Chain A
Amino acid sequence: METGLIGILTALLAASVRMATPLTLAGLGETFSEKSGILNIGLEGIMLSGAFFSFISAYYTQSILLGLLGGCLGGVFISMIHGYLSVRLNVDQTIAGLALNFLALGLTSFFFLMAFGRTTDLPECPVVHQIAIPFLSDIPIIGPAFFNQDPFVYLTFLLVALCYVVLHRTEWGINIQATGEHPRAADAAGISVSGTRYRAAMLNGVFGGLGGSYLTLAMLGFFMENITSGKGYIALVVVILGRRHPVGVLMAAILVGAAEALQFRMQTMGFGIPSQVFNMFPYVITVLVLLFSIGKNRTPAALGEPYIRNNR
């Protein structure tokens, strides 16, 4: 074990990457959703549902893979309700998302208490372990952070690349962007607006569910009420900081993760600065980013707008 500055830096970077993983996963999903024109504030609910169902299926089957599947389905369950409400029923997407956050928090807390009662020793589920990649993990500082992590982290890097290719290099990705920028034009060009948005919502559920699963299947190994405690909202922050670009989302998530990791470190070292100062950073930076993006508007033009086909 190395000590001194290098040791601290190494540990800090590794922790940042771990903290960034669930945020990146959920952020990727939300990127698809927002690019297609659906602003889903219900990301918190998606992650929470993913965390709950991944825990439940991993607990009862003792299988990580089935746990993952459960997590994805749990996320999709919430995101598809949101998709249906926003695409088919054209309701206010923000309020629908907010309602789903309440619903997911209620359902997961309720069923968790129902299944396990009020216990002090929390039931545990199997967790994934770190896999060191030979040679690469020996690189100083960045080696342990990027190449000695659990499979989730590697999967996340892979998905970032994949999402970039899909969003920017395939026809389907361009269709998603067209749907979010100008649904009527997309419709006229023969793209199914509702179909595209449903698929984006589905992806949002899968990714958000994976992000939630990371909390239970990799970070903690157990579930508790409101386990996400606002991570879904931070993932929304990450999407804006990352300018709705997969690589940007990853970078933003690592930045936010670093702030979080730094704050833990500061707390244990006993600095006199309240940890809230660091907690506040990501939010303040987001406001500043919104402020500085005045004029060069990168927001999808039809974000949050229902598309009603026969209206003019």
Chain B
Amino acid sequence: MKIIRELGSLILIACITALVGTVLVLAVGADAGKAFDAFFSGIMGSFYSFTEVLVRATPLILAGLGVAVAFQARFFNIGAEGQLYMGAIGATWAGLYLPAMPLFLHLGVAMMAGFLLGGFWAMIPGFLKSQYRIPEVINTIMFNYIAINIVGILVRTLMANKTSPLPMSPRLPDELHLPFLADPTRLHAGLLVALVSAVLVYLFLYKTTWGFELRAVGNNPRASSCSGISVKKTIVISSLISGGLAGLAGGSEILGVHGRLMEGISPEFGYIAIIVALLGRNHPLGVVLAGVGIAALQIGATTMQRRAGVPASISLIIMGLLVILILGRQYWIKSRST
């Protein structure tokens, strides 16, 4: 019965969002057929458009995995955006200023630098929560803004490109780029990093003692503490991994897409990642699917704006609505099944 109810509610949610989407398209007076055609051809009209979806999904999956790990430990990390930017700083720094070394080693070191800096950025609020019970929600939001401003300062001062008046860092060496997976598209190896990370996160969460402890702390910190798990240590570790994954997202955007540090490299990836984690139910496989789904929604909406004149902000409406319905659904299932 429960499965039927769950499935039924999911279908209902899909229908409601589709209905609202249709109503909105009709409301702007667009040709509905043309709009939907544009939406779907934007996602999989060609091999190229499908790779664009995957390029967009890469940072969403990585940051989404990070948020999911934190949420499993009940560390409400709203700071993926800032951790992503710190990761971007780390990767750019390693790419620009470390001495010459073999290419793949350099790429690996740069990604690692992204992981470490992102993880460090999340670990501060994690430590403050576990040690002093400072609520992490507000703290991580503050760290987002601080990180974004740090990027703004760096690209104008220490890491500024001296040959250009624009606020951006010098370009990374051309060869220092995550390998392209399918020329001539923009698809880069960041996607592989994301998929491998998903597998690793799965193994970590469900097949290791640390992962078990992390989930136990998330489920019931008091009981975990009573059975000898160090809740404080677990929260700090979860924040480190969480921020590290978001940092990888930043590193992959720098090394795979932009090739230099600048402001605005993340169109709210870090916030959307929270939605991705929620839709994916904090499970690595779910996060991968949700990341691709949300990326498809956004790419499809942009194409719809270009070809049928429907504002792309329709994707924001759909995302918000989807989350609200999913949140409501949990209540609905719970209250009916007891």
Q: Give A residues with C-beta under 8 Å from B.
A: 39, 41, 81, 85, 89-92, 94-96, 98-107, 109-110, 113-114, 225, 230, 233, 236-237, 240, 274, 276-277, 279-280, 283-284, 286-287, 290-291, 294, 297, 299, 303-304
Contact = CB atoms under 8 A, between A and B. Distances in A.
Interface string B138-173: 110111011001101100110000000000000000
Contacts of B278: 95
A290 B131 CA distance: 13
Given A90-B331, A95-B278, A110-B311, A100 B320 contact: yes
Contacts of A91: 327-328, 330-331
Given A114-B27, A276-B153, A280-B146, A99 B135 contact: no
A276 B149 contact: yes
6 contacts: A102-B316, A225-B313, A233-B145, A276-B149, A276-B152, A280-B145
B317 interface: yes
A294 B149 contact: no
A274 B152 contact: yes
A236 B133 CA distance: 19
Nearest to B155: A274
Nearest to A86: B327
Given A113-B313, A274-B153, A279-B149, A98 B78 contact: yes
A286 B146 CA distance: 11
A258 B143 CA distance: 21
Indicate the member of A39, A98, A102, A237 with the most B CB atoms within 10 Å: A102
A225 B153 CA distance: 26
B163 to A, nearest CB: 19
B327 A99 contact: yes
B324 interface: yes
B153 A106 contact: no
Contacts of B317: 102-103, 106-107, 110
Most buried by B among A100, A106, A236, A283: A106
Given A230-B145, A277-B149, 4 more contacts: A96-B324, A98-B323, A103-B316, A276-B152
B32 to A, nearest CB: 15
A94 B324 contact: no
Interface of B, secondary structure class, is: helix
B159 to A, nearest CB: 12
B24 interface: yes
A114 B317 CA distance: 14
A258 B323 CA distance: 37
A105 B153 contact: no
B83 to A, nearest CB: 15
Contacts of B157: 274
Contacts of B153: 274, 276-277, 280
Instruction: Specify which of B145, B274, B311, B313 lies most central, judged by the most chain A CB atoms within 10 Å of its CB.
Output: B313
A279 B145 CA distance: 9
A19 B162 CA distance: 35
Nearest to A82: B324
B315 A106 contact: yes
Contacts of B323: 95-96, 98-99, 102
Contacts of B134: 290-291, 294
B312 to A, nearest CB: 9
A287 B275 contact: no
Given A106-B315, A110-B314, A279 B152 contact: yes
Contact of B137 (A41, A100, A106): A41
A270 to B, nearest CB: 14
Given A113-B313, A233-B145, A274-B153, A102 B275 contact: yes
B320 A110 contact: no
Q: Please indicate which of the listed interface residues A89, A240, A299 has the most CB atoms of chain B within 10 Å of its own CB.
A: A89
Given A99-B324, A291-B128, A274 B156 contact: yes
A105 B316 CA distance: 7
Contact of B135 (A103, A113, A299): A299
A290 B134 CA distance: 7
A85 B146 CA distance: 30
B76 interface: yes
B17 to A, nearest CB: 12
B82 to A, nearest CB: 10
Nearest to B321: A103
Contact of B138 (A240, A279, A284): A240
B121 interface: no
